[in-house]
Amino acid sequence: MNATIYHNPRCGTSRAVLALLTEAGADVTIVEYLKTPPTVADLSRLYARAGLRPRDGLRMSEPAAVALADKDDAAILEAMATDPIVIQRPLVETERGVVLARPPERVLTLL
Protein backbone atom coordinates (compact mmCIF):
# COMPACT_ATOMS: atom_id res chain seq x y z
CA MET A 1 0.00 0.00 0.00
CA ASN A 2 1.17 3.51 -0.80
CA ALA A 3 0.70 6.28 1.74
CA THR A 4 1.62 9.94 1.82
CA ILE A 5 2.11 11.65 5.16
CA TYR A 6 2.23 15.41 5.56
CA HIS A 7 4.75 15.25 8.35
CA ASN A 8 6.63 17.36 10.86
CA PRO A 9 9.54 15.29 12.22
CA ARG A 10 9.57 17.41 15.41
CA CYS A 11 5.99 16.36 16.26
CA GLY A 12 5.54 13.27 18.43
CA THR A 13 2.11 12.53 16.99
CA SER A 14 3.44 12.76 13.46
CA ARG A 15 6.34 10.45 14.32
CA ALA A 16 3.93 7.95 15.92
CA VAL A 17 1.76 7.92 12.78
CA LEU A 18 4.80 7.41 10.57
CA ALA A 19 5.83 4.47 12.77
CA LEU A 20 2.36 2.91 12.45
CA LEU A 21 2.49 3.25 8.67
CA THR A 22 5.97 1.75 8.52
CA GLU A 23 5.04 -1.14 10.84
CA ALA A 24 2.05 -1.89 8.60
CA GLY A 25 4.41 -2.22 5.63
CA ALA A 26 3.18 0.84 3.77
CA ASP A 27 5.35 2.40 1.09
CA VAL A 28 5.42 5.88 2.62
CA THR A 29 6.08 9.15 0.85
CA ILE A 30 7.01 11.77 3.43
CA VAL A 31 6.15 15.38 2.71
CA GLU A 32 7.74 17.70 5.25
CA TYR A 33 5.01 20.25 4.78
CA LEU A 34 6.86 23.03 6.60
CA LYS A 35 9.66 22.79 4.03
CA THR A 36 7.40 22.00 1.05
CA PRO A 37 3.97 23.50 1.75
CA PRO A 38 1.00 21.98 -0.06
CA THR A 39 -0.78 24.23 -2.52
CA VAL A 40 -4.29 25.56 -2.06
CA ALA A 41 -5.46 22.96 -4.62
CA ASP A 42 -3.68 20.14 -2.74
CA LEU A 43 -5.18 21.18 0.58
CA SER A 44 -8.64 21.58 -0.91
CA ARG A 45 -8.46 18.07 -2.38
CA LEU A 46 -7.10 16.53 0.84
CA TYR A 47 -9.76 18.07 3.06
CA ALA A 48 -12.52 17.16 0.61
CA ARG A 49 -11.34 13.51 0.57
CA ALA A 50 -11.19 13.54 4.37
CA GLY A 51 -14.71 14.98 4.64
CA LEU A 52 -13.34 17.97 6.55
CA ARG A 53 -13.69 21.70 6.16
CA PRO A 54 -10.42 23.63 6.04
CA ARG A 55 -11.13 25.13 9.46
CA ASP A 56 -11.16 21.58 10.85
CA GLY A 57 -7.52 21.39 9.78
CA LEU A 58 -6.37 24.51 11.60
CA ARG A 59 -3.75 24.01 14.30
CA MET A 60 -5.51 26.17 16.88
CA SER A 61 -2.51 26.23 19.22
CA GLU A 62 -0.90 28.61 16.73
CA PRO A 63 -1.82 32.30 17.17
CA ALA A 64 -2.01 32.75 13.39
CA ALA A 65 -4.60 29.95 13.22
CA VAL A 66 -6.75 31.51 15.93
CA ALA A 67 -6.88 34.68 13.83
CA LEU A 68 -8.30 32.62 10.94
CA ALA A 69 -11.15 31.02 12.87
CA ASP A 70 -13.81 33.38 11.47
CA LYS A 71 -12.46 33.45 7.89
CA ASP A 72 -14.01 31.64 4.94
CA ASP A 73 -12.59 28.43 3.48
CA ALA A 74 -10.73 30.19 0.66
CA ALA A 75 -8.94 32.52 3.08
CA ILE A 76 -8.03 29.63 5.39
CA LEU A 77 -6.63 27.54 2.52
CA GLU A 78 -4.59 30.48 1.25
CA ALA A 79 -3.19 31.11 4.73
CA MET A 80 -2.31 27.42 5.12
CA ALA A 81 -0.43 27.40 1.82
CA THR A 82 1.39 30.61 2.76
CA ASP A 83 2.11 29.80 6.43
CA PRO A 84 1.96 26.00 6.80
CA ILE A 85 2.59 26.10 10.56
CA VAL A 86 -1.18 26.64 10.89
CA ILE A 87 -1.93 23.21 9.34
CA GLN A 88 -2.87 20.54 11.85
CA ARG A 89 -0.78 17.42 11.38
CA PRO A 90 -0.37 14.77 10.31
CA LEU A 91 -2.56 14.39 7.27
CA VAL A 92 -2.26 10.94 5.71
CA GLU A 93 -3.51 9.90 2.29
CA THR A 94 -3.85 6.41 0.84
CA GLU A 95 -5.99 4.98 -1.92
CA ARG A 96 -8.63 4.39 0.80
CA GLY A 97 -8.92 8.07 1.71
CA VAL A 98 -7.45 10.83 3.86
CA VAL A 99 -7.41 11.26 7.63
CA LEU A 100 -6.17 13.85 10.03
CA ALA A 101 -4.41 11.31 12.24
CA ARG A 102 -5.07 12.76 15.68
CA PRO A 103 -4.98 10.53 17.63
CA PRO A 104 -2.41 8.45 15.72
CA GLU A 105 -4.63 5.37 15.69
CA ARG A 106 -6.99 7.11 13.25
CA VAL A 107 -4.50 6.20 10.51
CA LEU A 108 -5.44 2.53 11.00
CA THR A 109 -8.73 3.20 9.18
CA LEU A 110 -6.69 3.68 5.99
CA LEU A 111 -4.69 0.46 6.25
Active-site residues, by number, are: 11
Give 72-75 contacts, CB < 8 A, sequence gap 24+.
Answer: none
| Residue 41 burial class via C-beta count within 10 angstroms: exposed 0-12, middle 13-18, buried 19 and up | exposed
Q: How far is CA 2 from CA 29, 45, 51, 89, 108, in A?
A: 8, 18, 20, 19, 14
**Helices 73-82 + 40-50 axis angle, to 10:** 120
